[in-house]
């Protein structure tokens, strides 16, 4: 019987390893940027074309490689970061597994140009699908340049699973931001399709955050500093009033490596307890320095998860540090035992009663009283009723009745004017119309109850209004006939760079709902018109929830995108539970619901109403 188990060829093993290491173009960006940082580069440039599907290039001024190292770096498990197994628990570099470059070379066309400072010439390698195509010497500047073209060219199935350029570029920007925030001392540049996206000179942590998120983010930051034997904490947290629905601006860095930790996130959220609205998320950029032997970072392929030796102590220290910063900078409410003595009531006034001010009125004053006029040529000096003297000449004029002499007709007609009394003497409607029986009732400001022939109808006012608004917005977007209300003053809203890019993608659909954009800048947008059923104060909330819901995955087709926008706006603007509705509003909501195409469920497939028949009620009382 022949052997069943066989050794895989190297190129097949590399392609399988690439499935873990290279999930999308952003994975390649992460690996190459980390290699440049490990090479002690001070200037790193990232060039991307078609969201990395066509081209990814990383150019740095690091130490470079010689000929042997340049060829050996593409072999599996080849690395300069570790020598022994014990080195895994004392890591000071980024990449250490030695599979990244081998995996990338197995699924793309790779060109490597590298030169060391002491060498006169560099090396130029060309690799296609793990095969060395050419190797030659070249005149190159100091450093290394990795050029990755046609990613997944030999794995079409994986390439077909890639999302749109907008989504893939968002993932690249996310990975880019995670790296640049951890290393503000390095000059970073990002270029996409020939246009410069980020130009980040070397700076400090605060300036790097502001350069990425925009100038308005500076006023949102509160510094955090704490140093103990277990951990050294530094960084910034966001003020509670600037919290958002999304979790995009939340970064933990451990030893200059970005990590995700729900445990540490819970510690920070507990420090914000009582300061945030329900569902809001604060921003934070926290840098933790711990001894390398107290953490294990080799538990996840992407190395974004870390296991700590003493998680409980770290939890307590982080929570206390954030809470202290919130109180120290007067962000959290504190008890103030100091008072201003100047605001106290004097002791001698404690038994005195307050006296009302006296108002004196001259009952004889009449502003329409006729004054005795003098000759026009004589300058008079008379006292007015207000006690001021006038030195201007007084003109001689007839009585005020003379002004209307010419208006009298030949036939003197007396026009009588009757004024309407304030007392209400009648009714605008007939008594039979006013005494109409109410057919709807509101229960606990949440449900609307109405009687029907078969029994009783109970409507959830929030979900019903969601259905009504959803169909209205979807119809407006589809037909492109939405109405807008112009704002007296344009509304300016500030967003980060990636949020601005996302709003530009949504702009056509948002304009079909009634938004009018005057300008979309690099850090802010200017809105001059909004949909008729949105208040000006609700615009920022609606856009924020829209960005939060659609930020991770932008739908591929326009219908799914429009559907997502309509759902989000309907959910944001629907009548909330606890809102009182009068009888007219209740009836209007019920009638609008049953005028919808699908009144049975909300846009999120939740029932909008239930019916209770008379038989159901009889059974309840028959028990």
Please tell me the predicted confidence (pLDDT) of residue 385.
Answer: 44
Mean pLDDT (whole number) for 309-337: 81
Closest CA to 493 of 503, 485, 483: 503
Please tell me the predicted confidence (pLDDT) of residue 130.
Answer: 81
CATH number for the region 443-610 comes to: 3.30.1370.100
Among the residue ranges 171-185, 258-272, 430-444, 487-501, the one predicted with the least confidence is 430-444
Task: Return all residues near 220 (Cβ < 8 A) that are at least 6 apart.
Answer: 238, 239, 242, 283
What values do phi and psi take at 412, rounded to 5? -65, 110
Beta pairing partners, 37: none
Residue bearing the bigger pLDDT, 558 or 67: 67
pLDDT above 70 coverage of the chain, percent: 76
Instruction: Looking at mean pLDDT, say which of 8-22, 74-88, 255-269 comes out highest.
Output: 255-269
pLDDT class of 302 with cuts at 50, 70, 90: low
pLDDT over 90 (residue 46): yes
Among the residue ranges 329-338, 381-390, 475-484, 510-519, the one predicted with the least confidence is 381-390
pLDDT above 90 coverage of the chain, percent: 25
> Helix, strand, or coil here: 358?
coil
Question: From CA 70, how far away is CA 66, in angstroms rounded?
Answer: 6
| Residue 474 near residue 563, CB atoms below 8 Å | yes
Closest CA to 21 of 95, 121, 131: 95
Question: From CA 597, how far away is CA 546, in angstroms rounded?
Answer: 24
> Helix, strand, or coil here: 106?
helix
pLDDT tens, position by position, 214-252: 877 888 899 999 999 889 999 999 988 888 877 778 999
pLDDT class of 373 with cuts at 50, 70, 90: very low
pLDDT class of 428 with cuts at 50, 70, 90: very low
pLDDT over 90 (residue 132): no
The terminus-to-terminus CA distance of the chain in angstroms comes to 74
| Residue 201 near residue 529, CB atoms below 8 Å | no
Mean pLDDT estimate for the chain:
80
Task: Please give the CATH topology (third level) of the domain spanning 208-328.
Answer: Ribosomal Protein S5; domain 2 (3.30.230)
pLDDT tens, position by position, 59-118: 999 999 888 888 888 887 666 555 545 555 555 566 545 567 888 888 889 999 999 988
Closest CA to 290 of 336, 232, 243: 232
Among the residue ranges 281-285, 479-483, 494-498, the one predicted with the least confidence is 479-483
Joined tokens for residue 520: 């979309």
Strands (E), 335-400: 382-383, 389-390
CA 144 to chain centre: 37
Instruction: Looking at mean pLDDT, say which of 68-82, 192-206, 471-485 comes out highest.
Output: 192-206
Please tell me the predicted confidence (pLDDT) of residue 181.
Answer: 94
Question: From CA 112, how far away is CA 123, in angstroms rounded?
Answer: 8
Question: From CA 352, how far away is CA 96, in angstroms rounded?
Answer: 82
Closest CA to 502 of 461, 453, 555, 442: 555
Please tell me the predicted confidence (pLDDT) of residue 505.
Answer: 81
| Residue 217 near residue 205, CB atoms below 8 Å | no
Parallel/antiparallel/unpaired status of strands 55-60 and 447-452 = unpaired
Q: Is 203 exposed, middle or buried (0-12, 13-18, 19+ CB in 10 A)?
A: middle
Task: Show me where the domains of the chain are located.
Answer: 10-200, 208-328, 443-610
Question: From CA 623, how far away is CA 620, in angstroms rounded?
Answer: 6
Question: From CA 273, how far away is CA 348, in angstroms rounded?
Answer: 45
Q: State the Cα angle at 114 between 109 and 119, rounded to 5°.
A: 155
Q: Is 70 exposed, middle or buried (0-12, 13-18, 19+ CB in 10 A)?
A: buried
Among the residue ranges 11-20, 50-59, 103-112, 415-424, the one predicted with the least confidence is 415-424
Please tell me the predicted confidence (pLDDT) of residue 320.
Answer: 92
pLDDT over 50 (residue 388): no
Are both 10-200 and 443-610 of the same fold? Answer: no
pLDDT class of 334 with cuts at 50, 70, 90: low
Question: From CA 325, how far away is CA 349, in angstroms rounded?
Answer: 43
Closest CA to 592 of 488, 490, 482, 440: 440
pLDDT over 50 (residue 387): no
Closest CA to 26 of 187, 169, 222, 190: 169
Mean pLDDT (whole number) for 363-370: 79
Mean pLDDT (whole number) for 29-41: 90
Please tell me the predicted confidence (pLDDT) of residue 335.
Answer: 56
Mean pLDDT (whole number) for 465-491: 85
pLDDT over 70 (residue 19): no
The 10 Å Cβ neighbour count of residue 351 is: 6
Task: Return all residues near 198 (Cβ < 8 A) that are at least 6 apart.
Answer: 176, 180, 188, 189, 190, 211, 212, 497
**Share of the chain residues as helix, strand and coil, in percent rounded to the nearest 5:** 35, 20, 40
Task: Return all residues near 34 (Cβ < 8 A) that are at least 6 apart.
Answer: 94, 95, 179
Range 10-200 has CATH code 3.30.565.10: yes
Please tell me the predicted confidence (pLDDT) of residue 384.
Answer: 44
| Residue 220 near residue 238, CB atoms below 8 Å | yes
Instruction: Looking at mean pLDDT, say which of 2-6, 263-267, 560-564 comes out highest.
Output: 263-267
Joined tokens for residue 230: 């277990």
pLDDT class of 383 with cuts at 50, 70, 90: very low
| Residue 487 near residue 617, CB atoms below 8 Å | no
């Amino acid at each position: 019987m022949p052997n069943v188990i066989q050794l895989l060829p190297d190129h097949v093993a590399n392609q399988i390893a690439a499935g873990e290491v290279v999930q999308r173009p952003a994975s390649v960006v992460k690996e190459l940027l980390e290699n440049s940082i490990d090479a002690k580069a001070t200037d790193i440039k990232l060039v991307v074309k078609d969201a990395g599907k066509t081209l990814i290039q990383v150019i740095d001024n690091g130490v470079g490689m010689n000929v042997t190292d340049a060829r050996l770096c593409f072999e599996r498990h080849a690395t300069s970061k570790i020598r022994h197994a014990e080195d895994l628990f004392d890591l000071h570099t980024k990449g250490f597994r030695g599979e990244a470059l081998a995996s990338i070379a197995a699924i793309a066309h790779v060109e490597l140009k590298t030169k060391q400072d002491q060498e006169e010439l560099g090396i130029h390698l060309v690799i296609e699908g793990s095969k060395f195509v050419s190797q030659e010497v070249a005149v190159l500047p100091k450093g290394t340049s990795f050029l990755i073209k046609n990613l997944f060219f030999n794995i079409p199935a994986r390439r077909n699973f890639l999302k749109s350029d907008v989504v893939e570029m968002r993932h690249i920007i996310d990975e880019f931001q995670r790296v640049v925030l951890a290393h503000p001392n390095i000059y970073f540049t990002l270029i996409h399709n020939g246009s410069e996206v980020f130009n980040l000179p070397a700076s400090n942590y605060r300036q790097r955050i502001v350069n990425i998120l925009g100038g308005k983010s500076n006023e949102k930051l509160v510094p955090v500093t704490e140093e103990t034997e277990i951990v050294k904490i530094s960084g910034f947290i966001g003020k509670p009033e600037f919290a958002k629905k999304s979790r995009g601006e939340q970064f933990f860095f451990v030893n200059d490596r970005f990590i995700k930790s729900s445990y540490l996130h819970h510690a920070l959220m507990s420090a914000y307890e009582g300061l945030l609205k329900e569902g809001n998320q604060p921003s934070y950029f926290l840098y933790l320095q711990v001894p390398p032997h107290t953490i294990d970072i080799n538990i996840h392929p992407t190395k974004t998860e870390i296991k700590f030796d003493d998680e409980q102590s770290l939890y307590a220290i982080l929570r206390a540090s954030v809470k202290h910063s919130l109180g120290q900078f007067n962000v959290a409410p504190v008890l103030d035992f100091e008072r201003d003595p100047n605001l106290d009531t004097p002791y001698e006034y404690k038994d005195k009663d307050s006296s009302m001010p006296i108002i004196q009125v001259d009952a004889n004053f009449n502003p329409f009283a006729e004054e005795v006029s003098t000759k026009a040529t004589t300058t008079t000096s008379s006292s007015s009723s207000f006690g001021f003297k006038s030195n201007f000449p007084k003109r001689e004029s007839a009585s005020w009745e003379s002004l209307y002499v010419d208006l009298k007709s030949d036939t003197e007609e007396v026009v009588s004017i009757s004024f309407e009394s304030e007392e209400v003497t009648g009714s605008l409607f007939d008594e039979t119309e006013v005494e109409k029986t109410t057919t709807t009732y509101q229960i606990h400001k949440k449900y609307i109850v109405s009687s029907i022939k078969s029994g009783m109808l109970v409507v959830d006012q929030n979900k019903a209004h969601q259905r009504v608004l959803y169909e209205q917005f979807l119809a407006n977007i589809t037909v492109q006939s939405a109405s807008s209300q112009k704002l007296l003053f344009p509304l300016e809203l500030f967003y980060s760079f990636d949020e601005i890019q996302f709003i530009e993608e949504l702009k056509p659909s948002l304009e079909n709902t009634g938004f009018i954009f005057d300008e979309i800048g690099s850090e802010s947008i200017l809105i001059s018109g909004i949909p008729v059923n949105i208040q000006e104060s609700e615009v920022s909330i609606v856009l924020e929830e829209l960005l939060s819901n659609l930020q991770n995955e932008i739908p591929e087709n326009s219908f799914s995108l429009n559907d997502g926008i309509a759902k989000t706006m309907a959910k944001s603007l629907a009548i909330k539970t606890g809102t009182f509705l009068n009888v007219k509003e209740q009836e209007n909501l019920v009638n609008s619901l049953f005028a919808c195409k699908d009144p049975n469920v909300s846009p999120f497939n939740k029932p909008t109403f239930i019916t209770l028949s008379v038989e159901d009620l009889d059974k309840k009382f028959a028990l």
